[in-house]
Amino acid sequence: MALKLPIFMDSHSTTPVDPRVLEAMLPYFTERFGHPGSRNHPFGWEAEKAVDEARAKIARLIGARDPKEVVFTSGGTESDNLALKGAAEMYREKGTHIVTTAIEHRAVLDVARRLEKQGFAVTYVPVGHDGLVDPEAIRGAITDKTILISVMFANNEIGTLQPIAEIGKVAKERGVLFHTDATQAVGKVPVDVEAMGIDLLTCSAHKIYGPKGIGALYVRRKNPRVRIAPIIDGGGHERGARSGTVPVPLAVGFGTAAEICREGMPEEAARLARLRDALQDKILSSVDEVYLNGHPEKRLPHNLNVSFAYVEGESVLMGVNKEVAISSGSACTSATLEPSYVIAALGVDPELAHSSIRFGLHRFNTEEEVEYVGGRIVEVVIRLREMSPLYELAKEGVDIKSMRWKAE
Amino acid sequence: MAYSDKVIDHYNNPRNVGSFPKGTPGVGTGLVGAPECGDVMKLQIKVNLESGLIEDAKFKTFGCGSAIASSSLATEWLKGKSVEEALKIKNTDIVNELKLPPVKIHCSVLAEDAIKAALRDFQEQWAAKQAAATPSVTS
C-alpha cells in the first residue's frame, strides 16, 4: 500500500477520533439530542442514561469504584484547574501549601503560580536526569500546612512515568490529598486510582481517540471523601462540581474511546512499543550524538524524545513538515519563545533543549510509516549537520562549552 | 507557522554552505550567537586583495529555518560588494526580502551581526598585515 503523506506522529498533542467512537457519537447530535438534566421526558432520560454509561466506562478504565466519582469537564486543562483551585479553596482553612514538580503541564504550573499570588506556598520538586520524581523528595517537601500533592502520571514531552503508587502511599501516610494529571497516561498504560492511592485525576478524551472538547476529573468519594469547590457556577450539574450542560455526544464518544482503550490496551501498548523501539533503533544506529530524553524504560510505550546535538529542532521539523508531523522543544516552536522547561529540568546542556524532537505514535501508525519517518529524520539531521558550525567545531575537536559565546 | 516561499527556498537550497580552508588569504570570519540561545551563525567572506571586492562568501548556521535563510541570503548579497558597501547591509533588508514575521526578526539581527563580525575580522587582519609590512616612520 502506498504511504499516505503527511504522517501524523504527534499523538501527545492530540489523536484522531476512532471511527467506532464517531459512530457511537453521531445519533446524539440528531435524534437523541436531549438534555441530560431534563428529568421529566424521554429525551432527557435517554441523554442522562447515555452520559452515565459513558461515566461508568471511564470509571472502569481508571479503576474508580463509583461512576459518580467521574466529573465531566471541557478537557484536561479545566480538570487541572478544577482540581487545584477547587481543592485550594475547599481546604484553605486546613493549610495553604501545595507540592508539585518542575515538569508539570502548564495547566498545573500556571494554576500553581496563580495560587501563589493568592497566598498559597508551592514547592516545585525537581526531577532527576531521567525525568523521575523521587517519592522521598515529595515526602520531604510536605509540611504541616500541605493540603495537596500534584504530580503528573506521564510527562507530555518525555513520556516518563512517575512512581505514582509510591507517591500515593506517601500522600496517604501524611494525610495529604493526591492529584495526578494523567492526561497522557489514561488509556495507554494501566491506571488504577484505588491501587495507586489517587484522590483526584485529570484525563482527556482527545488524547485517547475521542473527541476534543471533553475531559474528566476523578474526585474520590470514599476514604477519604474529597470535596472541591467549583470553578464554574451555574445550574449545579455534575453534582455541583461543574455547572454547564454536559455535551452528550462528546461524553458518549469519551466513554466509547475509554472502553476501546481498556479492551485493547495490552496489545496496543505492546505494538506501539515495538514500533517506537524500531524508530529509536533506526535513529540511534544511523546518527551519532543523539541523546534520549527521559527514562529509557519507565516511559509511555508510544513516546520517543531525542535531542540531535548540533542541530536546532525547528529546522528539523521544517525539513520534514510536508511529510511528517512531529514536534520540538526548541524555543522557535513554542508560544513563549523559550526552550522546553521539561528538557531543561533534566539538567542537560541548554542547547539540547533546542535540539529535542518528540515523536508520539498512535493506534493507526504502521510499520511502513515508522520506517519512512526514521529514514527521513536521519536524512534531514545529516543534511543540517553539514550546515552546522557547531558540528564542524566539534569534529575539529573544539570544546564548544568552553568557548566564549556572545549571546544576543 | 507558515514560512514565506523565499525562506523555504533558502532552507531547501541553501547558497554557499561551507567553510574556507584555514589560512586562505583575504578571508574574514564572523561567529555569532550562542548554542544555549538556539542560534549560532558562522559567516565568512573572501576579499580579493587586489580589487578590494568580496569575491566569495560562505556560511554555516545552527538555528531555525529563518536563521538558515537569513545567513544564506547574506552570503548571496555579500558577493561582489566592497567592504564599505557590505557594511551597509541592514537586518531590515533581510526581513523585507524574506518576509520574516516579528518573532523571527532576531534571525536577521544575528545575520547582520555575522556580516559585521566577518568584515571586522577581515579589516583587523588587513590592518595588522599593513602594519607588519610598512616600516615604522617614528622609530
Q: What is the 3-state secondary structure (H, E, C) of chain A?
A: CCCCCCEECECCCCCCCCHHHHHHHHHHCCCCCCCCCCCCCHHHHHHHHHHHHHHHHHHHHHCCCCHHHEEEECCHHHHHHHHHHHHHHHCCCCCCEEEEECCCCHHHHHHHHHHHHCCCEEEEECCCCCCCCCHHHHHHHCCCCEEEEECCCECCCCCEECCHHHHHHHHHHHCCEEEEECCCCCCCCCCCCCCCCCCEEEEEHHHCCCCCCCEEEEECCCCCCCCCCCCCCCCCCHHHCCCCCCCHHHHHHHHHHHHHHHHHHHHHHHHHHHHHHHHHHHHHHHCCCEEECCCCCCECCCEEEEEECCCCHHHHHHHHCCCEECEECCHHHCCCCCCCHHHHHCCCCHHHHHCEEEEECCCCCCHHHHHHHHHHHHHHHHHHHHCCHHHHHHHCCCCHHHCCCECC
- The pLDDT tens digits for A12-48 are 999 999 999 999 999 999 999 999 999 999 999 999 9
Which pLDDT belongs to residue B138? Answer: 55
Q: Residue A174 — pLDDT band, cuts 50, 70, 90?
A: very high
By Cβ distance, the residue of B33, B60, B65 closest to A318 is B65
Mean pLDDT of A78-93: 98
Residue B117 has pLDDT above 80, yes or no: yes
The CATH class of A7-13+265-382 is alpha beta
Which pLDDT belongs to residue B1? Answer: 62
What is the grid cell recorded at B38?
538556539
**Alpha-carbon A26 to chain mean position:** 27
**Parts of chain A belonging to CATH 3.40.640.10:** 19-260
Residue A215 has pLDDT above 90, yes or no: yes
| Architecture category of domain A19-260 in CATH | 3-Layer(aba) Sandwich (3.40)
Size of interface A-B (CB pairs under 8 A): 85
B42 chain-A contacts, CB cut-off 8 A: 389, 392
Q: What is the pTM of this model?
A: 0.94
A391 chain-B contacts, CB cut-off 8 A: 62
Q: How far apart are CA B37 and CA B114, in angstroms?
A: 15
**Parts of chain A belonging to CATH 3.90.1150.10:** 7-13+265-382
- Whether residue A19 has a cis bond before it, omega within 30° of 0: no
Question: In a 10 Å sphere around its CB, with 0-12 CB exposed, 13-18 middle and 19+ buried, how is residue B18 labelled?
Answer: middle
Residue A1 has pLDDT above 80, yes or no: no
Instruction: Name residue A325's beta-bridge partners.
Output: A8
Which pLDDT belongs to residue A14? Answer: 97
- The pLDDT tens digits for B47-58 are 999 999 999 999
* Chain-chain contact of B36 with A405 (C-beta, under 8 angstroms): yes
Residue A338 has pLDDT above 90, yes or no: no
- Give the range among A39-53, A296-310, B124-138 with minimum mean pLDDT: B124-138
Smallest CA–CA distance from A311 into chain B, residue: B62
Which pLDDT belongs to residue B139? Answer: 47
B109 chain-A contacts, CB cut-off 8 A: 408
- The pLDDT tens digits for B71-87 are 999 999 999 999 999 99
Which pLDDT belongs to residue B137? Answer: 58
Report percent pLDDT > 70 for chain A. 99
Q: How far apart are CA A374 and CA A396, in angstroms?
A: 28
Q: Residue A330 — pLDDT band, cuts 50, 70, 90?
A: confident
Q: What is the ipTM of this complex?
A: 0.92
Which pLDDT belongs to residue B52? Answer: 93
